[in-house]
Amino acid sequence: MDDGAKDLNNSIELIQKMSSYGIKNFITTPHVLGDVYPNSSETIKNKLKEVRDELNNRNIKDVTINAAAEYMMDEQFSDLLEKGDILTLKDNYILVEMSYFSPPINLFEILFQIQLKGYKPILAHPERYNSYHNNFEIYYKLKKAGCLFQLNLLSLTEQYGKFVTKTAEKLIKENLYDFVGTDTHHKNHLNLLQKVSTKKNKKILTIYY
């Protein structure tokens, strides 16, 4: 559907590998991003059914999987929000993202509109927004505006560079995260996740689990 699993077999392989790590309850979050990844609630639900059916066909019974989405905060998202055509992570939580280099000019207005519609925004991988690396105060401003944060576990590896890791560690230290996600797209990501499983990380991340 996007830059994640390429086909059904790939999806099952990733699920089984993550299951071997002890992760057995999944919420997938495929991108909804304009013409790049023009997914909808309907197409996501249809693919979810395919994966569930395949898990059942392979007699994989110890895994549960649901689907939400990772919404780019753009004009299309505003339209979906207005229509109420939103897939939530759980209850009224929406996973959102923005450009890594240039946040929307009306970002705080969008966050306000999300909450006005009765949803709670969760900003995916806040540590990866380059434009904020030298402006840490913006994170406090976002939290004050009602925005929750989800840590990308891969940010604690060398995957995205030292500045992202440094920012993630500072956000952890300041206790600004609310959730964690793996952001797993392929096998290489799963191999990298093993590097996260240290005693030090267990101590600082347990609160989020």
- The more confident residue out of 198 and 209 is 198
For the chain, list the domains and their CATH numbers: 8-208 (3.20.20.140)
- DSSP per-residue string spanning the chain: --SS--SHHHHHHHHHHHHHTT--EEEE--EEBTTTB---HHHHHHHHHHHHHHHHHTT--S-EEEE--EEE-SHHHHHHHHHT----SSTTEEEEE--SS---TTHHHHHHHHHHTT-EEEEE-GGG-GGGTT-THHHHHHHHTT-EEEEEGGGGTGGG-HHHHHHHHHHHHTT---EEE----SHHHHHHHGGG--HHHHHHHGGG-
Band of the pLDDT at 40, cuts 50, 70, 90? very high
pLDDT digits (tens, 9 = 90+) for 81-98: 999 999 999 999 999 999
Average confidence score pLDDT of the chain: 94
pLDDT digits (tens, 9 = 90+) for 168-183: 999 999 999 999 999 8
Band of the pLDDT at 55, cuts 50, 70, 90? very high
pLDDT digits (tens, 9 = 90+) for 136-152: 999 999 999 999 999 99
pTM: 0.94
Give the model's pLDDT for residue 181: 94
What's the mean pLDDT in 126-145? Answer: 96
- Rounded to whole angstroms, the Cα distance separating 184 from 192 reads 10
Band of the pLDDT at 201, cuts 50, 70, 90? confident
